[in-house]
Amino acid sequence: MITPILSKQQYKEYERVSRYSLFPIYYNRLDEKYVYGLTAQLTKEGTSYVTHTVIKGDTLDSLSLYYFNSPLYFWIIATFNDILDPYEDLKEGTILKIPTFSSIKFDI
């Protein structure tokens, strides 16, 4: 029988809305350290949203500040719109979907 290298899977929970809301942690027997697994993904299906047409000067954090009252949730807009590089300049005229904050859910 082969013993797996990663064992003791647990989940760490965070109080705030976060992509890390359910974050698996494993123990790596080879180097005797804990490692983090993949995080939960935003559920797009059934999530209500509004659309926003990008204008000059828009950034993900400025849109997050406008729609969510905090620039810290820029990753929600990026993830919901499949934007891989949050530092990439947004192109004017692009239509982004901004999920309703209270309807955000994660796949487990």
Q: What is the number of domains present in the chain? A: 2
97 and 73 in a common domain: yes
Spatial distance between the Cα atoms of 75 and 92, rounded to a whole number of angstroms? 19
Q: Where are the beta strands (DSSP E) in the chain?
A: 6-13, 22-28, 33-36, 49-53, 95-99
Model-level pTM greater than 0.95? Answer: no
Asked if residue 1 has pLDDT above 50, the reply is no
Q: What's residue 63's pLDDT?
A: 96
Is it the case that residue 31 has pLDDT exceeding 50?
Answer: yes
Q: What's the domain range around 10?
A: 6-36
Residue range 48-104, pLDDT digits in tens: 999 999 999 999 999 999 999 988 888 889 888 988 777 788 999 999 999 998 888
The reported pLDDT for the residue numbered 25 is: 65
User: What CATH number is associated with residue 93?
Assistant: 3.10.350.10
